[in-house]
Amino acid sequence: MDPFTRLQQTVAALKFRARVLAAVRAGFDSRGFTEVTTPVRIAAPAAEEYIDAPPAGAFFLRTSPELEMKRLLCAGMDRIYQIGPCFRAGERGRLHRTEFDMLEFYMAHADYLELLNVIRAIIVETAVKCTGGTKIKSRGYEIELGGEWAMLPVREAFRTFAGVSADEVAEQESLFEEILVEKVEPNLPKDRPCVLIDYPVRFGAFARAKAADPTLAERWEVYVAGVELANTYSELIDPSVQRERFAAARATRKRLGMTEYPEPTAFLDAIDRGMPSAAGSALGFDRLVMLLAGADSLSEIDFPLDDDGQEP
Amino acid sequence: MAMYDAADLKKGLKVEIDGQPYVITDFEFCKPGKGTALYRCKLKSMINGSTMDRTYRPVDKVGIPNLEERDMYYSYHDGQNYVFSDAETYEEISINEEALGKRTYFLIEEALCQGLFFNGKLIDITLPTFIEKVVAETEPGVRGDTASSNVMKPAKTDNGYDVMVPLFINVGDTIRIDTRTGEYAERVSKG
């Protein structure tokens, strides 16, 4: 398709996207959240093992607004959200763009389950405002957003769908991900959103361990039509544990030959002063628009990127 | 051997796995739960059309097949195989019926084709996109129905190929067939 024809198709999608934006903002605003804006170009991205920030001069383009928003929690804000561009080098596909909009939100004095209630209510309200109902069709599935969401512990999902121990496969490089993609995700319920919950601690680098079982991290991910939509933690707030996790991620990045980032000194200084207990969530905003629009891939609803020719 | 990085994989790319050439028919970039990237491919053998799924990790490498295209003319059927001659060297090279499938019905002597070679061995032929055939058998045509070409009826060409044609086609008509799909394309002339 020539770029101008594609652009013409994008027009209707952008109008729909604007309505989703307004509805999501209304949902957060009505619950006492403050919309914040933090820099897109930052000196020190969070060192995550498999996420790469594109360089921008001596700085980097953010992969998420996480560290900046946590600094705001330390500075006294207790309910905040942000919808804005994030960047991840090399991530291209039907459900990935090198540049995308993240909806990121934090709530102090709350845990990951309370945040699930918040986002579930906002998604349902947004669907009603933008599509007229709670039933959506996407990727060949009919999904009822308005009823009970399926809650599936990660250990149970791996045992049921792959016959393996999630804790054992988590110890081997990439095996957890392979089983998740090949055996677990295809078998998740698709008639309603499905929440995978309580990950082996290795897959909750910035999450608080469960008090009842410290081998599990308080983390959930919600899937809609098989699409991973949002990732949520009860946030780690202990500065010394955070430093350890950063060091571990930096070591992995070095071993994999990935770019080494400077230490996020402003963030570490803020958490040393004290971060309130909090839960935080990151939701792929483009994916939400795609699902509500009934589209199957991001290229159907997003403004074309200048490197779209390389789309797989 | 030259190799692709997993990050180079995309739909339509031709790769070599276990000594066989494959084309990637579907491709999905995955990055489950902040984990490592995975590249999921559906692959189709360029030799026998069999399909399989493979998932690659970022550290994986995938072979680049040694493929070459050459212009060839169709020459003759030697009783077992179909013989083509290289347009430059006139070298005769044969390919078996299995590789051609129903395309054996579309071979025309001295027609210019493209031969696809894997490690120097002819594995596939691309025929001229359209060929013309005369209809030998079909129910009588329906008058005045030339517009509704979406209603089809069975027919047989003069070399025995079964094809669905529009109702207005009669015995003796010359039709054009798309060799990529094996389907009727249009009527060339009335019989």
Are residue B53 and residue B9 in the same domain, yes or no?
Answer: yes
**Amino acid B142: pLDDT:** 67
**Amino acid A24: pLDDT:** 98
What does the alpha-carbon distance between residue A238 and residue A71 come to, in Å, rounded to a whole number? Answer: 14
Amino acid letter, B154: P
CATH number assigned to the domain comprising residue B100: 2.40.50.140
Distances (CA, A) of A168 to A296, B163, B178: 34, 57, 54
How far does the CA of residue B49 sit from the closest CA of chain A (Å)? Answer: 22
How far does the CA of residue A92 sit from the closest CA of chain B (Å)? Answer: 7
Q: What percent of chain A has pLDDT over 70?
A: 98
B5–A contact, CB cutoff 8 A: no
What does the alpha-carbon distance between residue A24 and residue B133 come to, in Å, rounded to a whole number? Answer: 61
Are residue B185 and residue B140 in the same domain, yes or no?
Answer: yes
Confidence check: pLDDT of A312 > 50: no
Q: Taking CB atoms and an 8 Å limit, are A93 and B29 in contact across chains?
A: yes
Confidence check: pLDDT of A204 > 90: no
Amino acid letter, A110: A
**Amino acid A245: pLDDT:** 87
The tens digit of pLDDT for each residue in A82-102 reads: 999 999 998 888 999 999 999
Can you list the alpha helix ranges (DSSP code H) found in chain A?
A: 3-29, 66-74, 112-131, 154-162, 166-169, 175-179, 239-255, 265-273, 285-293
| Disruptive mutation site among B29, B54, B59, B60 for chain A (greatest number of A CBs within 10 Å) | B29
Confidence check: pLDDT of A311 > 50: no
CATH number assigned to the domain comprising residue B12: 2.30.30.30
Band (pLDDT 50/70/90 cuts) for residue B140 is confident
**Amino acid A1: pLDDT:** 73
Are residue B77 and residue B114 in the same domain, yes or no?
Answer: yes
More confident residue, A202 or B22: B22
Band (pLDDT 50/70/90 cuts) for residue B147 is low
- Helix/strand/coil for B104: helix
Q: Taking CB atoms and an 8 Å limit, are B29 and A203 in contact across chains?
A: no
The tens digit of pLDDT for each residue in A104-128 reads: 999 999 999 999 999 999 999 999 9
Averaged pLDDT for residues B154-168: 94
A62 near A52, Cβ under 8 Å? no
| pTM exceeds 0.80, yes or no | yes
Q: Name chain A contacts of B40, Cβ cutoff 8 Å.
A: 181-182
Averaged pLDDT for residues B24-31: 93
Are residue B44 and residue B87 in the same domain, yes or no?
Answer: no
What is the CA angle A7-A288-A52, rounded to 5? 85
A111 near A75, Cβ under 8 Å? no
The tens digit of pLDDT for each residue in A33-71 reads: 999 999 999 999 988 888 999 999 999 999 999 999 999
Confidence check: pLDDT of A309 > 60: no
What does the alpha-carbon distance between residue A274 and residue A74 come to, in Å, rounded to a whole number? Answer: 6
Size of interface A-B (CB pairs under 8 A): 67
A221–B contact, CB cutoff 8 A: yes
Q: For chain A, which residues make up each domain, given as ranges?
A: 3-310
A289: number of CA atoms within 13 Å, CB side? 27
How far does the CA of residue B14 sit from the closest CA of chain A (Å)? Answer: 13
Q: What percent of chain B has pLDDT over 70?
A: 95
Averaged pLDDT for residues A273-285: 97
Confidence check: pLDDT of A27 > 60: yes
Q: What is the mean pLDDT of chain A?
A: 94
Band (pLDDT 50/70/90 cuts) for residue B88 is very high
What does the alpha-carbon distance between residue A25 and residue A288 come to, in Å, rounded to a whole number? Answer: 14
The tens digit of pLDDT for each residue in A133-175 reads: 999 999 999 999 999 999 999 999 999 999 999 999 999 878 9
* CATH number given to A3-310: 3.30.930.10
Confidence check: pLDDT of B148 > 70: no
Averaged pLDDT for residues A168-184: 92
Confidence check: pLDDT of B126 > 90: yes
A176–B contact, CB cutoff 8 A: yes
Domain count, chain B: 3
Q: Which domain holds residue B47?
A: 3-63
B10–A contact, CB cutoff 8 A: yes
What does the alpha-carbon distance between residue A138 and residue A49 come to, in Å, rounded to a whole number? Answer: 31
What does the alpha-carbon distance between residue A64 and residue A38 come to, in Å, rounded to a whole number? Answer: 10
Q: What percent of chain A has pLDDT over 90?
A: 80
